[in-house]
Amino acid sequence: MSTGPAISIRNMVKRYAGEKGESGKLALDDVSFDVPQGGIFGLLGPNGAGKSTLINILAGLVKKTSGTAEIWGFDIDRDMRNAKRSIGIVPQEVVFDPFFTPYEVLENQAGLYGVPKSMRRSMELLRAVHLEDKKGAYARTLSGGMKRRLLIAKAMVHSPPVLVLDEPTAGVDVELRRQLWELVEEMNSEGVTVVLTTHYLEEAEQLCERIAIINHGKLIANKTTRELVDMAREKIVVLTLDRDVEALPTHPAFLKCETVGERMIEITYDMDRINAGEVLTLIQGEGFAIVDVSTREADLEDVFVSLTSSARQAA
């Protein structure tokens, strides 16, 4: 496949079986989106949103209720074999047979995928995930971080064009998170399309060009990271003034104005209607001298909160 999306999902629905005749959990509610080729795509959502359910459907581990999905142009029902060959999945849970070495883990997995011996690249992959020196160690002796990296190598044994990581950094420390981000960026720069699910906004914002947001099984946004951040029209300025503030200033473009410390006020304003310079002029016009100023841009977190809360209101 040379053009078209890396992954295409249409009207995906998953309802888990309920207990004793009750209707079960609707984990995916008519989800449709495309993952373009070549980038790092973020599937962002809080715990329980339906991210793993979607990934596990692509992996063939969960049976969808309805809808279709194509991986690298191959339909997961009609062309399951090619669809599977086109994707490598790093599951959320870390599980290994403790008595295999990293090298054996990769060789076994290559065997499962029918990769002929001459085409295997176990050592190359161990190098790529910086586990070369752990080639012969038992899996049970690896640290948590090493196991995560080994899982990434394991997902790549059949050289799939698409790599999916389900919450690669949930519960890992800052240092390991940084290492995993680097690894993901390396894989991507070598041409692999990467999809990662995360509930960390910061992670999606830093790593992904494009982000789909899923909440309560529904897709509520699918945009470039830039577009999402631009959706936040709020800007915040914190001012330290030369004297006590008796009455807080008001203006139609101020969304909020509050006292945040001694002689300190925080003004949230609509950046489409007024700019920081005008805010300062207004305050000075009220007879204050400004001792200190800091501003903050709305970030993805602000967008996320407003999107997920409006989705709750609509539901």
Which x/- pattern, by CB under 6 A, does the window 5-34 give for ligand ADP?
-----------x--------x-x-------
**How near is the Cβ of 52 to Mg ion at its closest, in Å?**
3
Rank residues 102 and 168 by Cβ distance to ligand ADP and give the closer one: 168
Rank residues 148 and 158 by Cβ distance to ligand ADP and give the closer one: 148
**How near is the Cβ of 134 to ligand ADP at its closest, in Å?**
29
Give the SS3 label for residue 204. helix
DSSP string covering 45-113: --TTSSHHHHHHHHTTSS--SEEEEEETTEETTTTHHHHHHTEEEE-SS----TTS-HHHHHHHHHHHT
Rank residues 49 and 156 by Cβ distance to ligand ADP and give the closer one: 49
Q: Which does 88 bind (CB under 5 to 8 A by kind): ligand ADP, Mg ion, none?
A: none
Which x/- pattern, by CB under 5 A, does the window 33-52 give for Mg ion?
------------------xx
Rank residues 27 and 129 by Cβ distance to ligand ADP and give the closer one: 27
User: Hey, what are 269's tokens?
Assistant: 């304003």
**How near is the Cβ of 194 to Mg ion at its closest, in Å?**
17
Q: Which does 45 bind (CB under 5 to 8 A by kind): ligand ADP, Mg ion, none?
A: ligand ADP
Rank residues 134 and 218 by Cβ distance to ligand ADP and give the closer one: 218
What does the alpha-carbon distance between residue 135 and residue 150 come to, in Å, rounded to a whole number? 10
Q: Which does 49 bind (CB under 5 to 8 A by kind): Mg ion, ligand ADP, none?
A: ligand ADP
Buried (b) or exposed (e) across 265-298, using 16+ Cβ within 10 A?
A: bbbbbebeebeeeebbebbeeeebeeeeeeeeeb
Residue 215 engages ligand ADP in binding (rule: CB under 6 A) = no
Residue 48 engages ligand ADP in binding (rule: CB under 6 A) = yes
User: Hey, what are 271's tokens?
Assistant: 């950046």
What does the alpha-carbon distance between residue 174 and residue 202 come to, in Å, rounded to a whole number? 12
Q: What is the DSSP letter of 288?
A: P
What does the alpha-carbon distance between residue 137 and residue 224 come to, in Å, rounded to a whole number? 42
**How near is the Cβ of 309 to ligand ADP at its closest, in Å?**
18
Rank residues 151 and 274 by Cβ distance to Mg ion and give the closer one: 151
Cα pseudo-dihedral 56, 61, 63, 68, rounded to 10? 50
Q: Which does 227 bind (CB under 5 to 8 A by kind): ligand ADP, Mg ion, none?
A: none
Q: Which does 223 bind (CB under 5 to 8 A by kind): Mg ion, ligand ADP, none?
A: none
35 phi, psi to nearest 5 deg = -105, 115
Considering only residues 148 through 177, tell me which ones interact with ligand ADP, judged by CB under 6 A.
Answer: none
Residue 215 engages Mg ion in binding (rule: CB under 5 A) = no
Select from 87-95, 143-151, 203-211, 252-260 the region that touches Mg ion (CB under 5 A).
87-95
**Strand ranges for the chain from DSSP E:** 7-15, 26-35, 40-44, 66-71, 74-75, 87-90, 162-166, 193-198, 210-215, 218-224, 234-241, 254-261, 264-270, 290-297
What does the alpha-carbon distance between residue 228 and residue 302 come to, in Å, rounded to a whole number? 10
User: Hey, what are 218's tokens?
Assistant: 């529904």
Using CB under 6 A, list all residues that contact ligand ADP. Answer: 16, 25, 27, 45, 47-53
